[in-house]
Homo-oligomer: A and B are copies of this chain.
Amino acid sequence: MFITNPEIEAYLKSLVHINDSVLEKMENLGHKLNFPIVDRLVGNLLYIITQIKKPKLIVELGSGFGYSAYWFAKGLEDGKVVLNDYKEENINLAKKFFKEGNLYEKAIFEVGDAVENAKKYNNIDILFLDHEKSRYLEAIKQLENNLSKEAIIIADNVLWHGKVIEEDKDKKTEKINEFNEYMSANFKTSILPLRDGVLIALKK
């Protein structure tokens, strides 16, 4: 089962040129540790969306060691990106990479439950969901009032290796289907079959 033809995906990757040794180092670490970073195609899209939107405040749920946040930070003009992870060692690694890439002052680093931490922020212009997939729906419900009027919600892995179209779904996949349906009904939503599925949504 694949979402995008793997040869097409390889072609798309070959066209994204990044000249940033820190990003490359992060990609290598992700691949070495088999850590689920959003990877280059999605990272590049986050960068482009940030450049179009010009957000003041981006909040991530589930930042790992900061790969996706690094792309957001590169796209920012004068806003900030909030990184959130409950594993302190991840956030420490992220700090190291952001320092190395001269992006440290564009970031705020938080350790703890992502949704609880995010509640401290208001007027979130981009909310990025990449923590526990079965908790996306409760996250968006809990954080809706923390979003700015024209906020963008972005969520990764919403096609969950294609499991969302299988007959016999496990609990986690069912939760993702529910999230996709909720977003499609209550927001202006586009789901892109990029890598593992990227949802982009605006308030109605």
Contact B8 A181 (CB under 8 A): no
Contact B51 A8 (CB under 8 A): no
The distance in angstroms between the C-alpha atoms of A85 and B92, with both chains bound, is 55
Tell me which of A10, A41, A165 has the highest count of chain B C-beta atoms within 10 A of its own C-beta.
Answer: A165
Give the interface segment out of A62-70, A93-101, A139-147, A188-196: A188-196
A24 contacts chain B at the CB level, 8 A cutoff: no
| Chain B hits for A152, CB < 8 A | 52
Contact A15 B200 (CB under 8 A): no
A33 contacts chain B at the CB level, 8 A cutoff: no
1/0 per residue, CB under 8 A from B, across A171-191: the answer is 000000000110011001111
| Chain B hits for A11, CB < 8 A | 159, 164-165
Contact A48 B200 (CB under 8 A): yes
1/0 per residue, CB under 8 A from B, across A42-76: the answer is 00110111011100000000000000000000000
Contact A202 B16 (CB under 8 A): no
Within 8 A of B (CB), among A135-166: 150, 152, 159, 162, 164-165
Beyond the given A15-B184, A192-B192, please list 12 additional residue pairs across the A-B interface where CB-CB is below 8 A: A4-B4, A5-B162, A8-B193, A9-B193, A10-B165, A16-B184, A16-B189, A17-B185, A45-B192, A48-B189, A48-B190, A52-B150
Instruction: Show the binding face of A for B, using Cβ within 8 Å.
Output: 1-5, 7-12, 15-17, 41, 44-45, 47-49, 51-53, 150, 152, 159, 162, 164-165, 180-181, 184-185, 188-194, 200, 202
Q: Can you list 17 A-B pairs, Cβ within 8 angstroms, ordered by A?
A: A3-B4, A3-B5, A3-B8, A5-B162, A7-B165, A8-B159, A11-B165, A12-B191, A15-B181, A15-B184, A16-B189, A16-B190, A41-B190, A45-B192, A47-B188, A48-B190, A194-B194
